């Protein structure tokens, strides 16, 4: 209880509240702008938060994460161009409802569903995080190695175009993480005679490059795209009667979203799509889906916001990111000197509760923004790309340089961006690479420790029951996409 009070007290400083609201506003803007995303915003903000109080910095990013998920729905509804991937499913019914002349109602439904989904998952977050952490405290290096392998294997089912490509990107991320001095032996690895590489490649410039620069190059191909926009004069909140009719749909989607969020590597996009599909399956009138029905808006919105809170559970309790964006929050924790994992809640419980508080404030923050500023925020889509993307490049340059005042990091950022652009064109998504990069050191460290404990015998790892369970889950998660693909291929042949 003391830790909860301490965590909330930390947030109550004027500066921290200001930063959280700043995070909410940035989150809604980047969420609303097609092309910009919350992972990109967090990647760009990371180097600038070094000088900030760690609790304030992490809280701001957590708030940005929540608000970014919501922000995408504004443009999904008004211009049929989801600002962020998790809002794709919202456009299925949000835009048709707006076209019917009810954009305010669509925005109101999305806002309320987002807030309920977000708060639902935070309640789970506050209870599940300490529980999961207490279980994880009994884990040794072998069990942790099994867990991190399972988390990496989940990349196969992560939202993306191809399971194998996701796994390859994850492998490349872990391989990049092995560069530099091997701490256990002092051996310099893959430095190729370049002095800067002896310290390895830091994740910040890589993240900025992968998320910002590659998107800049992608956006340069659609500079003159014209978008049709619905105008929302005001936001119309749903009535109690309507909310009462939708309550089971919202609660079911919130539960589903939280569960999917908790699974390593699964994110808000998968949660929103599953929330939408489940709502359609359970609906009394499934034929109305796609024509602008209320259930088609509240289901994906409550699910994707619930997934945001759910994804924080494994991130903070186990040090295993629940999504691409939480991988960046994990990176921020590492950058600010915290060691994510079960010890985070035992040693710095106030930080975990401060993050919880920040996300709670963020949920109410975007409710306020939805009520008074949805119309204003929808105008951000008018910012011309020809002015927006040079600004992103400026922030990328300053961010990657300021991290360690080194031009080498700027080149790493640029190279990562170019590689990321070609990766995306060929079906490789940057999120698995980031997960690999962040999880890489943990995978190797636990593997090495396990090998030392078991006298270099990997087979002795299987003596641990927990490791066996994780290996079983790993095999299942790796094989499931392939089995379903093979089944589909056979069906199509028949």
Partner 1 sequence: MALKIKNNKSKFAPEFTGANLFHKKDLQISLVLIAVGSFFFYEATKFPAPGMILGDTINADVFPKILVVLLIFLSSIIPFEFKFAAAKIKKIDEDRSNKIQTITWITLAMLIIIVFCSSFLGTILTMVTTCLVFPIVWGEKRYLAVAIYSLLFPLAVYLLFNKVLSLYFQPGLLKIFQ
| Comparison of 137 and 394: residue with beta carbon closer to partner 1 | 394
> Does the footprint of partner 1 cover residue 451 (CB under 8 A)?
yes
Binder among 99, 123, 162, 343 for partner 1 (CB under 8 A): 162
**Greatest CA separation found in the chain?**
70
Minimum CB distance to partner 1, residue 490 (Å):
10
> Does the footprint of partner 1 cover residue 475 (CB under 8 A)?
no
Binder among 390, 463, 472, 475 for partner 1 (CB under 8 A): 390
| Comparison of 283 and 404: residue with beta carbon closer to partner 1 | 404
Q: Phi and psi of 283, rounded to 5°?
A: -70, 150
Minimum CB distance to partner 1, residue 327 (Å):
18
CB-based burial, 304-316: b 16+ in 10 Å, e otherwise = bbbbbbbbbbbbb
| Comparison of 170 and 309: residue with beta carbon closer to partner 1 | 170
Minimum CB distance to partner 1, residue 238 (Å):
36
Q: Left, alpha or beta for 319 (phi > 0: left; psi -120 to 50: alpha)?
A: left
Q: What number of residues does the chain have?
A: 494
> Does the footprint of partner 1 cover residue 165 (CB under 8 A)?
yes
Q: Phi and psi of 185, rounded to 5°?
A: -115, -15
Binder among 223, 225, 372, 475 for partner 1 (CB under 8 A): 223
Binder among 123, 251, 418, 466 for partner 1 (CB under 8 A): 418
> Does the footprint of partner 1 cover residue 426 (CB under 8 A)?
yes
Minimum CB distance to partner 1, residue 421 (Å):
8
Binder among 287, 456, 459, 465 for partner 1 (CB under 8 A): 456
Q: Report d(CA 31, CA 29) in Å as an integer.
A: 5
> Does the footprint of partner 1 cover residue 338 (CB under 8 A)?
no
> Does the footprint of partner 1 cover residue 491 (CB under 8 A)?
no
Minimum CB distance to partner 1, residue 152 (Å):
10
Binder among 198, 277, 381, 448 for partner 1 (CB under 8 A): 448
Minimum CB distance to partner 1, residue 279 (Å):
24
Binder among 32, 210, 294, 414 for partner 1 (CB under 8 A): 414
Binder among 1, 2, 193, 224 for partner 1 (CB under 8 A): 224
Binder among 386, 463, 472, 476 for partner 1 (CB under 8 A): 386
Minimum CB distance to partner 1, residue 151 (Å):
15
366-385 positions binding partner 1, by CB under 8 A: 384-385
196-215 positions binding partner 1, by CB under 8 A: 213
- SS3 readout for the chain: CHHHHHHHHHHCCHHHHHHHHHHHHHHHHHHHCCCCCHHHHHHHHHHHHCCCCHHHHHHHHHHHHHHHHHHHHHHHHHHCCCCCHHHHHHHHHHHHHHHCCCHHHHHHHHHHHHHHHHHHHHHHHHHHHHHHHHHHCCCCHHHHHHHHHHHHHHHHHCCCCCHHHHHHHHHHHHHHHCCEECCCCCCEECCCCCHHHHHCCCHHHHHHHHHHHHHHHHHHHHCCCCCCCCCCCCCCCCCHHHHHHHHHHHHHHHHHHHHHHHCCCCCHHHHHHHHHHHHHHHCCCHHHCCCCCCHHHHHHHHHHHHHHHHHHHHHHHCCCCCCHHHHHHHHHHHHCCCCCCHHHHHHCHHHHHHHHHHHHHHHHHHHHHHHHHHHHHHHHHHCCHHHHHHHHHHHHHHHHHHHHCCHHHHHHHHHHHHHHHHHHHCCCCHHHHHHHHHHHHHHHHHHHHHHHHCCCCHHHHHHCHHHHHHHHHHHHHHHHHHHHHHHHHHHHHC
Minimum CB distance to partner 1, residue 208 (Å):
13
> Does the footprint of partner 1 cover residue 462 (CB under 8 A)?
no
| Comparison of 165 and 350: residue with beta carbon closer to partner 1 | 165
Number of residues that bind partner 1 (CB under 8 A): 67
Binder among 138, 337, 455, 465 for partner 1 (CB under 8 A): 455
Q: Phi and psi of 266, rounded to 5°?
A: -85, 145
Site string for partner 1, 173-192 (x = CB under 8 A): -xx--x---x-xxxx-xx-x
Minimum CB distance to partner 1, residue 145 (Å):
11
Binder among 221, 233, 281, 382 for partner 1 (CB under 8 A): 221
| Comparison of 237 and 418: residue with beta carbon closer to partner 1 | 418
Query: What residues line the site for partner 1 (CB under 8 A)?
Result: 48, 51, 161-165, 167-168, 171-172, 174-175, 178, 182, 184-187, 189-190, 192, 213, 216-217, 220-221, 223-224, 384-387, 389-391, 393-395, 397-398, 401-402, 405, 407, 410-411, 414, 417-418, 425-427, 444, 447-448, 451-452, 455-456, 482, 485-486, 488-489, 492-493
């Amino acid at each position: 209880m003391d830790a909860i009070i301490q965590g909330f007290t930390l947030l109550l400083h004027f500066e921290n509240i200001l930063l959280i609201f700043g995070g909410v506003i940035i989150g809604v803007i980047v969420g609303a702008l097609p092309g910009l995303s919350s992972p990109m915003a967090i990647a760009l903000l990371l180097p600038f938060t070094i000088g900030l109080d760690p609790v304030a910095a992490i809280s701001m990013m957590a708030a940005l994460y929540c608000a970014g998920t919501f922000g995408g729905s504004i443009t999904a509804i008004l211009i049929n161009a989801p600002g962020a991937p998790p809002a794709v499913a919202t456009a299925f019914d949000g835009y048709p409802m707006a076209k019917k002349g009810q954009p305010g109602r669509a925005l109101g439904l999305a806002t309320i569903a987002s807030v309920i989904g977000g708060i639902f998952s935070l309640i789970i977050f506050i209870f599940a995080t300490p529980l999961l952490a207490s279980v994880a405290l009994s884990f040794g290096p072998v069990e942790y190695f099994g867990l991190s392998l399972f988390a990496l294997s989940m990349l196969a089912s992560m939202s993306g175009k191809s399971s194998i490509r996701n796994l390859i990107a994850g492998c490349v991320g872990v391989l990049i993480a092995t560069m530099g001095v091997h701490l256990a032996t002092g051996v310099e690895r893959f430095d190729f005679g370049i002095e800067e590489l002896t310290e390895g490649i830091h994740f910040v410039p890589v993240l900025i490059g992968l998320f910002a620069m590659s998107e800049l190059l992608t956006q340069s191909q659609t500079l003159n795209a014209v978008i049709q926009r619905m105008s929302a004069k005001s936001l119309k909140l749903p009535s109690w009667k309507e909310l009462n009719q939708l309550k089971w749909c919202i609660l079911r989607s919130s539960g589903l979203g939280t569960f999917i969020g908790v699974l390593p590597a699964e994110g808000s996009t998968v949660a929103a799509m599953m929330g939408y599909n489940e709502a359609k399956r359970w609906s009394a009138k499934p034929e109305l889906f796609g024509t602008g029905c209320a259930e088609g808006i509240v289901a994906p919105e409550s699910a994707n916001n619930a997934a945001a809170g759910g994804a924080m559970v494994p991130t903070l309790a186990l040090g295993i990111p629940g999504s691409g964006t939480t991988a960046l929050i994990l990176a921020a924790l590492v950058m600010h000197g915290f060691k994510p994992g079960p010890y985070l809640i035992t040693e710095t419980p106030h930080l975990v509760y401060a993050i919880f508080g920040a996300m709670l404030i963020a949920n109410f923050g975007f409710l306020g923004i939805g009520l008074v500023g949805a119309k204003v925020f929808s105008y951000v889509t008018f910012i011309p790309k020809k002015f927006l993307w040079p600004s992103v490049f400026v922030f990328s340059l300053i961010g990657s340089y300021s991290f360690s005042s080194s031009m080498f990091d700027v080149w790493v950022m640029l190279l990562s961006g170019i590689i990321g652009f070609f990766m995306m064109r060929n079906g490789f998504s940057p999120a698995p690479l980031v997960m690999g990069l962040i999880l890489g050191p943990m995978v190797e460290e636990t593997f090495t420790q396990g090998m030392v404990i078991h006298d270099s015998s990997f087979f002795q790892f299987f003596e641990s029951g927990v490791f066996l369970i994780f290996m079983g889950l790993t095999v299942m998660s790796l094989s499931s996409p392939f089995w379903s693909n093979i089944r589909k291929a056979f069906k199509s042949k028949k």
